[in-house]
Chains A and B, each alone.
Chain A
């Protein structure tokens, strides 16, 4: 058995980095191909992580340290993949040719483009931002859409998630808890502001999530309104006017806000189509990659030597993504050992 087998990992987000680090620990030679100019993916753009408000930068830094010394191609995409008798031959956009015994898709997700839900007024009204914009504002403190002294702010859950009109019927899994996290952080910055969360269902399944919810209710005084926002308009003085139904009282609800934050959901990576076609892998109806099964073989594809890690197979939290990345590394390890 030779140990110099090479594995190409497509995507340098947290899933890609963790998989690469584990594979190197197992003695193989991973290569990371990342389309952007830095490792870290979406998480690198976030400020703090739920439920402990740990800084996202710390996690990304530790992962970057773990992949130090691994061959990494930044600003590069896959131009072509060919299946040969002995593994895969890949051509990168810069012309580099790579021979690999296995390929791991860690291509992640795309954030739903909030302007597609035009009725929420993203890009139209002055004080409507997305969850990502808010994280950026937490990081930099500069966004003219965020008012200096907000009296009321709203968080709209499920923007582009569970929505057939947006083309995504899946639940993005992380928005409920992210909204609570962001609401808490916002309230900490502006204790006098009223904070409203508009939700359809609160899906707080993870460890400590429910505690976080209770904290938001009890200590932070955040209001939870069960009703999906259907229409947003602008008042004469430039505030955001929100229409929802308070489904618990069964009455239409109207509220004027100084800022509206849209919790844009996790949707399939826009490049999935192209990548899937290159290796003739099936995509699910929702555009995510299809695992061999959804219980015990999440990291396996229908093709020998092709593996999945992270959110390319559906919305996941960070701990889930990291665990799956390690699991993918083990699956690759098992597979490579069977090769003669």
Chain B
């Protein structure tokens, strides 16, 4: 099929090739990750989001889309202040989620 333009594979999400193991491990440790409805409250209230684009919403989504480097970059400025935990309408323990994820990145089982 000719679209008249070419699709760049890197800008498409291919769920067939996406490694979900890190997301699944995170869900084991913080099941709340599964309940995110992507409302964006966390990112809106986050002080560092304006500085480096930190967003718990994007962290959770990024893990399910294979964007592990972006996720790592976002995590690297979190101050753990807990505002996102306070505003989350689904009551996700975002601080625990972030801490556990930071650990998974360093552990063997989190290796990609």
Contacts and interface: CB of A to CB of B under 8 A. Distances in A.
Task: Classify A-B as touching or not with yes or no (CB < 8 A).
Answer: yes
B13 interface: no
B45 A243 contact: yes
Q: By CB atoms of chain A within 10 A, which of B40, B53, B89 has the most?
A: B40
A245 B89 contact: no
Contact of A247 (B38, B89, B90): B38
Interface residues of B, number: 22
Interface in B46-80: 46, 49-50, 53, 55, 57-58
A236 interface: no
Interface residues of A, number: 24
A200 B88 CA distance: 12
B43 to A, nearest CB: 4
A163 B89 contact: yes
A61 interface: no
Contacts of B89: 158, 162-166, 228
Nearest to A242: B44
Q: By CB atoms of chain B within 10 A, which of A162, A247, A250 has the most?
A: A247
A119 interface: yes
B43 A245 contact: yes
B56 to A, nearest CB: 10
Contacts of B86: 165
A231 interface: yes
A230 interface: yes
A122 to B, nearest CB: 16
A231 B58 contact: no
A226 B40 CA distance: 8
B31 interface: no
A200 B37 contact: yes
A26 interface: no
21 contacts: A158-B89, A162-B37, A162-B89, A165-B89, A226-B40, A227-B40, A228-B40, A228-B41, A228-B44, A228-B89, A229-B44, A243-B44, A243-B45, A244-B40, A245-B41, A245-B43, A245-B44, A247-B43, A247-B57, A251-B53, A252-B46
